[in-house]
Structure 1
Amino acid sequence: MTVPNRSASRRAAKPYSRMVTIGDATLYQGDAYEILHTLGWFDVLVMDPPYVIDMSGGGKFRADRKHFSEIEEEELDRGFDYSIINALMCGAVVVFCHNNQVPELSTFLNGSFERFTICAWHKSNPMPVANKSYQPDTEFYIHAWNRDFAVAGELADKKRHITTAVGKSDFDHPTVKPDAVMAKIITNVGGRSICDPFMGTGSTGVAAIMAGKRFVGIEKNPKHFATAVERLTAAHAEAERLAAEQEAA
């Protein structure tokens, strides 16, 4: 009797449940920790992974802040495994993080890449809360890179901060970053291939497509994955329209 080789079957199984190609973008539905290492080299990883956040408190205002509960339900307050950032498989990385993560994460990145800078997204209309600390008027992201993937863009693009308003997302996700923030980040990263292993609803991918970059995104939540497919499909159509107009001019 022939015994099936179960280990070989497992190795052959795809680590994702769905893959969608949209122009020069490829999206995978699944767990980034199982998928990313199978995809090879990327010039840049751009990610907004789960923060480490204490979601307790909020007092009498908690009921009005439904996104707090959404963050807990989607486990976006439990942090992430830094090992997903493999400096041997990318030239640079941009990582959003909670301010409490800055010391540990910056130390990790400083030991993995040649240079790094702490950048900030300043919110012009932060929530009027403090929870015995400071107002949440700033979110940090760390840009780390090796020599061949230095900060890109014109001098005016190379500020370490951007100020925009924050508002309710149209995409039913509690932590969507504004398009202007992601467009700045994509302007500042060197290289052409961009991967976002925590894609969410696809904000990084939209910015990458509009900048003419190759994009790969990974998202495990089926609802957010479907939204990302819709957003990137629309962005691809818009990029093609603009390119046709420019060619005809």
Structure 2
Amino acid sequence: MTTAPYYADDLVTLYHGKAEEVMGEWVNGLANPDFGQIIVTSPPYNMGLTPGGNGRGMYRPGGNNKGGRFRDGYANHDDAMPQDEYDAWQRDCLGLMWELIPSDGAIYYNHKQRVEHGIVRIPLGLQFGLPLRQIITWDRGTGIGVNRRHYAGVAEWVFLFAKPDFKLRDHSASGAGDVWRLGMAREDYGHPAPFPVGLPAKAIDTSGARSVLDPFAGTGTTLVAAKEAGVRGIGIEKSEHYCEMAARRLAQDVLPLGVAA
């Protein structure tokens, strides 16, 4: 491998780089492909542009407007790609993830629908290029994007892509159901759209995973869940700023924003 770890301890390792480039290195030269029995990840949603009025295209919102927190994207990713390029990029990333997981592996891919000019946009048009086993609903418990043209979104989806030998831990794990009422992340650690630790923790627990990979690691939430569960965790993150936040968080040397030491 040419990419050296940014952070590592006895259980988790974080790499600084683009997801597709680091995973490409692993796919092309990895001796042991079990970097993650499961993958739990939430990529950028391409929310940097907001629909304009009267069907007049997409624009970058003001800081106080709907979607304003995504105006500057995620650190050094502007999150405003042409939609066809974004979809192609994500399909490529999913393809690499699929190659990395073993025959009993699975991908938990968190994404959401979006209403644009009165028409719903479904993630990747549901054309993922992988066998979709199930759609899990993450109930966040609160709505965003209040608008008289549609109901506020209170849920996101976790698309489960599974290899033939993938099984849940046991029957009680199946009983957890396909609606996960997890609420929102309590702390954001400087990230505009974190998911709660409970999401990767539930995937790890119910699958009985021996290892987990997150190629869009952000501030390290999946790695925190892996560490708490005592399983091997691997993360990739493009932003050095988020890598630093994740490293400090994993080393238990950081407080949530706004909390005094």
Q: Normalising by the residue count of structure 2, what TM-score does the alignment of the two structures yield?
A: 0.71
Secondary structure of the structure 2 residue equivalent to 1:234 = coil
Structure 2 gaps of 5+ residues are 54-60, 114-120, 254-261
Where in structure 2 are the equivalents of 1:140-159 lying within 5 Å? 140-152=157-169, 154-155=172-173, 158-159=176-177
Q: Give the structure 1 partner of residue 18 of structure 2.
A: 31
Q: Give the structure 2 partner of residue 47 of structure 1.
A: 41
Structure 1 vs Structure 2 CA RMSD: 3.0
- In 2, are the aligned partners of 1:58 and 1:131 still within 8 Å (CA)? no
- Percent of pairs identical after alignment? 25
Q: Give the structure 1 partner of residue 78 of structure 2.
A: 75
1:148 deviation in Å?
A: 2.5
User: What CA deviation, in whole Å up to 9, does each residue of 1:79-107 have, x standing for no partner?
Assistant: 44312223332121111112234463465
Secondary structure of the structure 2 residue equivalent to 1:71 = coil
Q: Give the structure 2 partner of residue 187 of structure 1.
A: 205
Q: Normalising by the residue count of structure 1, what TM-score does the alignment of the two structures yield?
A: 0.74
1:29 deviation in Å?
A: 0.7
Structure 1 gaps of 5+ residues are 1-11, 236-249
Q: Give the structure 1 partner of residue 108 of structure 2.
A: 94
- In 1, are the aligned partners of 2:220 and 2:249 still within 8 Å (CA)? yes
Larger radius of gyration: 1
Give, as a single letter, the amino acid of the residue that structure 1 aligns with 2:41. M
**Cα distance change on mapping 1:216 and 1:150 into 2, 3 Å:** same
Where in structure 2 are the equivalents of 1:68-217 lying within 5 Å? 68-71=70-73, 74-78=77-81, 79=86, 80-85=89-94, 86=96, 87-90=98-101, 91-99=105-113, 100-102=121-123, 104-105=125-126, 107-110=128-131, 116-127=133-144, 129-130=146-147, 132-152=149-169, 154-155=172-173, 158-166=176-184, 169-217=187-235
Mapped to 1, the partners of 2:228 and 2:48 lie a distance apart of 35
Mapped to 2, the partners of 1:21 and 1:69 lie a distance apart of 32
Query: 89-98 or 152-161: which moved more?
Result: 152-161
Q: Which has the higher helix share?
A: 1
